Each structure stands twice: as C-alpha cells, then as structure tokens.
Chain A
Amino acid sequence: MSKDMAKLIHKYLRHDKKFPHVWCPGCGNGIILGALIRAIDRLGLEKDEIVLASGIGCSGRMPVYVDFNTLHTTHGRALTFATGIKLANPSLTVITIMGDGDATAIGGNHFIHAARRNLNLTSIIINNQIYGMTGGQHSPTTPYGCFTATSSYGHIEHAFSIAELAVTAGAPFVARCTVYHAKMLDELIEKAVRKRGFSVVEVISNCHVQFGRRNEMGDPVTMMKWFRDHAVTVENSSKMTSESMEDKFTIGILTDVEKPIYTQEYDKIRRKAKM
C-alpha cells in the first residue's frame, strides 16, 4: 500500500469503525469509493461540509464507510433527501451515490426531476446493470438478451442509457466512465463536484457475481477487459463511423453547460417576497 493511499484511508474512512465492508471481492464499488476520496482530497473540502447520501443496494452501503455527514436513505430516494439538505443549508457539498435500479427504476422520477430542477448537487450512479444485493434480478440498464435471475430466458426489455437520460432531463453536467478507467474517474468526479449545478457521473461497474456469471463474464478481470474494449472516449468517438460505434459506448464529459442554479433563483424569490 502506498503511503499516500494509507494517508487518505486514515483521513477519510471510518477505518477503525466499520470495516471490513460488505462488498464481494473484486467489486467495482471499492474503485469508485477510492476515486471519490481522491477527488474530494484534491478539491480540498473539509469533511464537515460534505454530505454523502445514498439509497438502497450495494451502492447504498458506501456512506457508512466514510467520515463525512453520511445518510443512508430509502430505496431510490437519496436525491429527495439531498434536495432538502441542500435547500436547508446551501453551504454543504451534497453528493449522492445510487445504483442503476435505485436511480432509474424506483427513483427514476426523482432523478429526472432533480436534473430538471438543477440544485447544486452531485449524483454518482453506479451502473452494474443488475440488482446485485437482492440476488441478480434485471434492472432498467440490463441489456437486451442478457440473463438474470428474473430473465432466465433472456431479457426482452431495452436498457436505459443513464447519462443520455440525464442530458435529456436537463442536467447541465453529465459524464460517464467505467471502473477500468479509474484515473479518468477521479478527474470526472472532481469536475462534477466542482460544477455549479446538478452534475451526474455514471460509472459502469462490474457485478461479476450476479451479472457476469450469468453472462459469460464470471470474474472481475473479464468484465474489466470488456469495459476496456467497449468504452470509447467522447473525443475518439467523433472520429469513428456509426457502424464501428454500434457495440461501443462513450466515456468522458457528455455535456457541460451553464444553467441558473435553483438556490440562486430562490434567493431572488426571497428578495421579491420581501419587497
């Protein structure tokens, strides 16, 4: 273990209270937690001013391990709690961590409205294309034809693309990455937290236990290789033909635009209300 990593673990993790963690060996969640910690360290934020809120599922367990103000909400609802926290104390840096089912099935309504509303929140969505904790049932991002505990004959529904959904719903900053591209992930999370407005980072992650094993990718390395071979940076994708992009997905910053922030707009309302 490098000295720097040991320093970050001691500074940011509840290392003496809550470990070992609940995640399976080789789970991508650890990489994402690491990237989040490195990004926060680079941002130089005080631990007291950070709130990490999650929903339910494997991703939902992340806040308990970090030494921030941490909140483990109900399934799909992390953004609603985060909305209340941010409005009550806009000086807090509020980050939500959700899974694909959490954010886009049960919490889908909250997700699109949070993107539309544009509070200054960061939403990290771990997309492992499956409900991992409950035993591998299909989620809104399970690809067509894949096998899961509730699609044993092959999945007949079509997947959401979370990042594109966020762009369409109006989020001013949307990025996508994979757990294979760990260094890029640090940078994207850092930029997302820095962004003034609702920012989304979709992270394609591996659940080799529940998704991979049913779909001929039963170990983390195979899944990592798949991410490596199918992810194309936004820059490179523009040089590729649509045929060669057919089985690929883009990573990097998908959108980064300026939009009025809810809390700033609400301050204007307060001034009008007092006139």
Chain B
Amino acid sequence: MISNLSQNRLLLQGNEALVEGALAAGCRFFAGYPITPASEIGEILSVRLPQIDGTFIQMEDEIAGMGAVIGASLAGVKSMTATSGPGFSLMQENIGFACVSEVPCVVVNVMRGGASTGLPTHPAQGDVMQARWGTHGDHPIIVLAVSTVLDCFEITVRAFNLSEKYRVPVIVLSDEMVAHTRETVTLPSLDEIEVIDRISPSVPPDWYVPYKDNSRGVPPMAAFGQGYRYHVTGLVHNTHGFPTQRPDEIKAFTNRLFRKITQGFHEIQMTRSFMVEDAELTVIAYGSVARSARRAVIEAREQGIKAGLLQLITLFPFPRHTVESVLRQSRAVLVPEMNMGQISREVKRVNQGISHVEKYNRIDGRLITPDEICLSLRKL
C-alpha cells in the first residue's frame, strides 16, 4: 500500500507528496484539525492510514491534535500533524512539551499569509521565527523548509529521521505555493530510502534511567507498555524523569537538550548550493522563493552576472558555517523572502560586516518572481 506510488512518474501536489514521504518514513499516526492550505494532508491520511493499520483522528482543535500526536509517539508510534498559521499558534504549548520531554514527532506548517487569521489562502513565509521560538522558554528545535513537490517527499522523510534520532520535534515549513503546486515527480523506491527509528533501551527495566546522558546526548526511549515504567513530564526533570529544583540538575538537563542538537550540526544543517563556486552575488533563499531564485540565477548568468544560490533546507539550527563561507566569497548577498525579513536577520547576524546583505521582501500574498530577484541582483 505504501510503495504503490514509488518509482512511477506521478503528477502530485505538494501536500500529496508530503503524505507519501511521511508514510515512507514510517508515520502511522496523524491527529489534526482542518485548516487551509494544509487540509489535504489530513484528508489523504484519513484514507491511507487505516489501510496500513495506522490511525487517523480528527481532533477538536489543534491543541488536542498536538497532544494526541505526543501521546501516540510515547506509545511507540511515529506520529505527525499538519496545520497552518492559526493552528500552529495553538500547537505551540504542546510543541514545548515535546521539546522538554524529548518526544519525537513531526509538525507540518503549510504557511499562509498574514498574522492572525491573515490571508487565506495565499503563500507567505511569515512563520519562520515562530517555528524557532513559538513556544516559550529556551528549547532546541529543528526547522526544515521545502521548496518543491519532490522536497515535500524527501524532506519529510528526513524530518522523521532527525526527529527519531535526536528525540526532538521537527517542524516542516511548507507554504501554500509548494503545497498546492502540481508537478511531475518520480518518487524513490522504498529500498532507496533511509529510515531511522528511535533507539530503544537495551538494559533491563530496573537499570533504565530514562533521561541519562550519553555520548550523543540522546537517551534511549522506551514506549509505554514496553515494561519500562517511567515518568514523563513537562517540568524540568532529573535523569530519572522526576521534577527537580536543583540548580545542578536543571543546568545539566538544559545543556544536554542543546548539546544533542549542536553535536548533530553536521547532518542536521542541510543546504543546497547552485552555481555558488565562483559567485560574486549570492542569493540565500528557502521554500518556494528558492525556486524563483534558482531561475533568477540562471537568467542573471545569461546576462553576465556571476550569481549563485544557497538554498537553505534547514532554517534552524541556522546553518551559520555554510552561510558564513558564502558571505566571505560574495561581494553581496540577497535574501528574498515572503515576509518582512526574518531569515535576513539571521544572515545579518552571521555577517558581522563580512559582506553586504540586502533583503527583498514581498508581503502581498504573491510569490516573488525570478524577474524581481534578477532585477534586485542587478542593483547590487
């Protein structure tokens, strides 16, 4: 049932490809609440999951959807939810719970325009900083951005893998443009796909210390009902999972949460370089805008401008080393975004006077076109 679509040329919508990616990665539970432009993900999974003994449930709101996703993951099933801005706001509380209790799960946010109810349903990239900092307090999180229908498949597989490996929620940022674009893709076959599962404890239950540090900073995770009876809480906890107020335990806990991600930078921070080798002007873009930027780079080269594109797949943890090397070799860097400038701030933070960083923003619910990027490059 899962593999019937792979290795065929298919005309798929972004949301449809994302579902295929989730299923290929082993997702067997979805809980969510309808919202445009993410609804197709839940709709398709309501048909597909019961076919493969998985579970779909439509909850009473996004808060409940996120809670159920965490519950299912605690019981050992790979889980996800999908939403758009307003629902993503409601999920933030329980996303924080998943960060602190280290429960793997994938949250898809198909971004639409505007704050509040905003601009249904036109594309935007306004939820970038919310994806990183939407839930309160210091916490690590991984944020990935998709730019094509094939990305929706491949990056979703990676999202599950990273989530399982690092025991951290992974946010997949899509947008209305990517989600509703249909294009022909050939999905990889299941044996070509690397699927990573969380590590279960190998010690007997009496020896299990659920939040004990190790070289990776990621403790093995037991599923409820597996014989390892332990406590899971959103309170800051010690290595046994019990709430603590001791400064030494609080510090060790928080530091480990961050260290496990820092140690994985080499594989978590994903970027794509296009004609960057000899580029004097580099575009740094992500999501659907990266597509326009790719076209713009080709056109600029035709006009004799040595342009290149650094596409960010991972937005957070921000791939600062790759961005820094691009800044070092570029006379100027352009950051086009469908927001008022959220990633451009990150680029400027890394820049520290190395190069010249220019932003280009569009917030009218329309995609930034290759022409606009090309024109901006010519002005640099």
Q: Which of B55, B63, B69, B232 is within 8 Å of A72, CB to CB?
A: B232
Question: Across the interface, do B229 and A70 meet the contact criterion of CB distance under 8 Å?
Answer: yes
- Closest A residue, CB atoms, query B97: A74
Interface-facing stretch out of B3-11, B235-243, B267-275: B235-243
A85 and B224 within 8 A (CB): yes
For A87, what are the chain B residues with a Cβ–Cβ distance below 8 Å? 29, 55, 57, 68, 71-72
How many chain B residues sit at the interface, stated as a range, is 35 or more
| Smallest Cβ-Cβ distance to B70: which chain A residue | A81
Name the one of A18, A68, A80, A85 contacting B59, with C-beta atoms under 8 angstroms: A80
Instruction: Render A117-153 as a binary contact track against B, CB cut-off 8 A, 1 for contact.
Output: 0000000000000000000000000000000000000
Q: Kindly specify which of B36-44, B45-53, B179-187, B299-307 makes contact with the partner chain.
A: B45-53
Contact B229 A74 (CB under 8 A): no
Pairwise interchain contact B60-A71, C-beta atoms closer than 8 A = no
> Could you say which of B73-81, B126-134, B147-155 contacts chain A?
B73-81
Interface 9-mer from A201-209, A249-257, A265-273 = A265-273
Distance in angstroms from B50 CB to nearest chain A CB is: 4
A150 to B68 CA separation, bound complex (whole angstroms): 33
User: How far in angstroms is the closest Cβ of chain A from B52?
Assistant: 9
Q: Which residues of B contact A85 (CB under 8 A)?
A: 71-72, 74-75, 224
Q: Is B232 a contact partner of A71 (Cβ separation < 8 A)?
A: yes
Q: Does B67 contact A (CB under 8 A)?
A: yes
A69 to B229, CA, bound (A): 5
Asked whether A191 is an interface residue with its Cβ less than 8 Å from the other chain, the reply is no
Alpha-carbon gap, A189 to B286, bound state (A): 54
Q: Mark A79-102, 1 if CB is under 8 A from B, else 0.
A: 111111111110110000000000
Q: Is the CB of A51 within 8 A of B231?
A: no
Chain A's interface size range is 35 or more
| Contact, CB under 8 Å: A72 / B68 | no
In whole angstroms, how far apart are the Cα atoms of A273 and B49 in the complex? 9
Q: For A88, give its contact among B65, B71, B227, B232 (CB under 8 Å).
A: B71
- Whether a CB of chain B sits under 8 angstroms from the CB of A63 is yes
Residues of B within 8 Å of A92, CB to CB, are 75, 224-225
The docked-state distance in angstroms from the alpha carbon of A20 to that of B224 is 26
A152, chain B: closest CB distance, angstroms? 30
Q: Which residues of A are interface residues toward B (Cβ below 8 A)?
A: 17-18, 47-49, 51, 53, 63-64, 67-74, 77, 79-89, 91-92, 109-110, 113, 266, 269-270, 272-274
Interface residues of B, Cβ cutoff 8 Å to A: 29, 31, 47, 50-51, 53, 55, 57, 59-61, 63-77, 79, 93-94, 97, 223-227, 229-235, 240, 242-243
Given contacts A80-B64, A84-B75, 13 further A-B contacts (CB under 8 A): A17-B240, A49-B225, A64-B231, A74-B234, A80-B59, A83-B31, A85-B224, A88-B29, A88-B55, A88-B75, A89-B225, A92-B225, A109-B61
Q: Which 10 A-B pairs have the closest CB atoms?
A: A84-B71, A80-B67, A84-B68, A88-B75, A84-B72, A273-B50, A81-B71, A72-B233, A88-B72, A69-B224
